[in-house]
Structure 1
Amino acid sequence: MWFKQVTPFRLLELPEKRYLDESLGNSWFTEPQGLDWFSEGFTPPNAFTDLAVFEAQKTMLISLMREEKVLPSAAIKHKLDEQIIKIQAHEGRNVGRKEKQELREAIIDDLLPKSLIKSSRTYGLFAGEWLFVDTANRRKAENLLTKLREALGGLPAQQPLTRQSPSALMTNWLLRGEAQGLFVLDSDVTLVGAGDVAPKVKISRKDLTAEDVVQHAKNGMTVTELGLVWNGRVAFILTQDLTLKRIQWLDVVQEEAEGSCDDAKSMSYATQLLMEAALSAILGELVDLLGGWQE
């Protein structure tokens, strides 16, 4: 499984595989019961293990499952309107705000056990000094981190804060017309201006060295997202908090994975290793270009 988005966290200490497995196994997923709106817990991250961790060399893949009950607001309103009409017809009185709320809560309690279920998973990959979470949604990434800390009794992880801001580096690259290191400019950029009502410009599928594109930065706008290609292997959008969005694993990487496998399990193993190697290299190089970690 190739991650399509990544929110990275810096690990100050990597948990041992056995401890991680045991701890997450004690926080196993169970379906939401009765009047519970949702349930969260850890599950096997793929079909090739019954444990909480799928290990490939020194990398560890985990999965947090969430199931939530879905009650369409229109269905609740329909039931509520029906009951209000019955009360008005049979008792000849109006229904006040407090009684409406009580009726609504009773309807929800009645419908919850019969509601539809919406399922989702958030994956995390432990690799050296990194925890890569397969989402660009900061809230979902932080939620996985919170659940890990609850299960493990703590996890020394933090947002990757560098000496130079990623926005400043990306703006400089746009002004120069080229990136540094193994990075090259791709074809997407988002810039914002200053002020209380900041203007925003989003450009897609265009030559980023074109004068009309660069002029936005010359006029004082700051780059918040920048399309990049790393080492001819991975294309992505870099954001101002080092999140990677819209990741594309280019043909050369996919072919390396396929060429080293003879079944689905070995493919999953190879994918995990290649993905970790690229993500660690990308983030490591970015941190170096950004002057290292904030102390």
Structure 2
Amino acid sequence: MWFKQLSIYPLNKENLPELETLVDKLVEAEFKPCMGLDWDSIGFASPVSFSPEMVFPAQNIWRIALKKEEKVLPAAVVRDILEEKINEIREAEGRNVGRKEKMELKETITDDLLPRAFTKSSKTEAMIDTQRGLLLINQANANRAEMLLTKLRDALGGLEAKLPRTQQSPGSLMTEWLLNGTAAGHFELDSDCELKGLGDAAPVVRISHQDLTAEEVVNLVKNGKVVTQLGLCWQDRVRFVLTQDFTLKRIQFLDMIQEEAAGQGDDMQSVTFASQILMAEALGDLLAELVHHLGGWLPE
């Protein structure tokens, strides 16, 4: 229900689809299970457990989900069966099996096992904030976030989304805040950070559960290291780790927000509805202030 990580894509809010159009397009791109010789399958699915609808709207916040299913075929199983087949040929025909024939046997074995293989599935959720013009994906891994964005673009026939590029880089701002021993505005330094020296082979220093204003921590920055991840707290409402790529990790919505959501009703739908609004509002306001400290978005 509550996002734990975040990739951010600013949208052109003047050119977003209508809710009904989004629903129809996602139904057309709906997830279908892996069949036959397919290794995987990917498509949109219901983002909530209590409804089959492809979009869960809460005021101006639309939640969607991309589901992926993959076949699991352990290499050791294929290898063991292949070895048995090779031994059978040696004993029956008295000859060795060449590399090309081994590859053909391996492909045949794989094709035979694939329809009976186990599957594993995963789901990536996202929210479209139509008022602020943001696509918020519950994923900090760039490839997985981009997969959802790509599939959404494909389903809609296009979507004006861009990478979150700002006037000042997040790494520069985080380094500045750590060097000053304080963050700006409604942000406060938390107790975790990651620093790296210059150069590709430079060592990485990870600090956890420590006072980030301590002299030994600040000296790392003074000696040339830059901050690549920084733990922050915003308005005593959200804790998170900001990265140099402008993703958020280890997001925690603190008790104030969660209690407010829980007080909106007893059933799952009411709580999810309230949580979605409160979560999007908190993230939207947090990001707006953070972008302000970063000098604003870079123009296209």
Q: What is the TM-score with the length of structure 1 in the denominator? A: 0.98
Give deviations 1:257-283, integer Å, cap 9, x for gaps. Answer: 111222111000011001100111111
**In the aligned structure 2, how far is the partner of 1:270 from the partner of 1:176?**
38
**In the aligned structure 2, how far is the partner of 1:242 from the partner of 1:286?**
10
Alignment of 1:48-197 (within 5 A): 48-127=50-129, 128-197=132-201
In the other structure, the counterpart of 1:12 is: 12
Mark the runs of 5 or more structure 1 residues left unpaired by the alignment.
none
**In the aligned structure 2, how far is the partner of 1:16 from the partner of 1:241?**
31
In the other structure, the counterpart of 1:211 is: 215
**What amino acid sits opposite 2:9 in the alignment?**
F
In the other structure, the counterpart of 1:266 is: 270
**In the aligned structure 2, how far is the partner of 1:215 from the partner of 1:250?**
31
Question: Cα offset for 1:15?
Answer: 2.6
Alignment of 1:225-244 (within 5 A): 225-244=229-248
**In the aligned structure 1, how far is the partner of 2:169 from the partner of 2:200?**
21
Runs of 4+ that moved beyond 3 A? none
Between the aligned residues of both structures, percent identity stands at: 54
* Residue 291 of structure 1 pairs with residue 277 of structure 2: no
**In the aligned structure 2, how far is the partner of 1:156 from the partner of 1:49?**
29
**What amino acid sits opposite 1:48 in the alignment?**
F
**In the aligned structure 1, how far is the partner of 2:97 from the partner of 2:209?**
57
Mark the runs of 5 or more structure 2 residues left unpaired by the alignment.
none
Q: What is the TM-score with the length of structure 2 in the denominator? A: 0.97
Query: Secondary structure, in 3 states, of the residue corresponding to 1:276?
Result: helix
Question: Cα offset for 1:150?
Answer: 0.6
Question: Cα offset for 1:52?
Answer: 1.0
Provide the alpha-carbon RMSD of the alignment: 0.8
**In the aligned structure 2, how far is the partner of 1:251 from the partner of 1:289?**
26
**What amino acid sits opposite 1:34 in the alignment?**
G
**In the aligned structure 2, how far is the partner of 1:239 from the partner of 1:70?**
32
Question: Cα offset for 1:49?
Answer: 2.8
Match of 2:32 among 9, 30, 33: 30
**What amino acid sits opposite 2:189 in the alignment?**
L
Give deviations 1:13-67, integer Å, cap 9, x for gaps. Answer: 3332111111111001111111000001111111333221000001000011111
**In the aligned structure 2, how far is the partner of 1:268 from the partner of 1:100?**
54
Comparing 191-200 with 240-249, greater Cα deviation is found at: 191-200
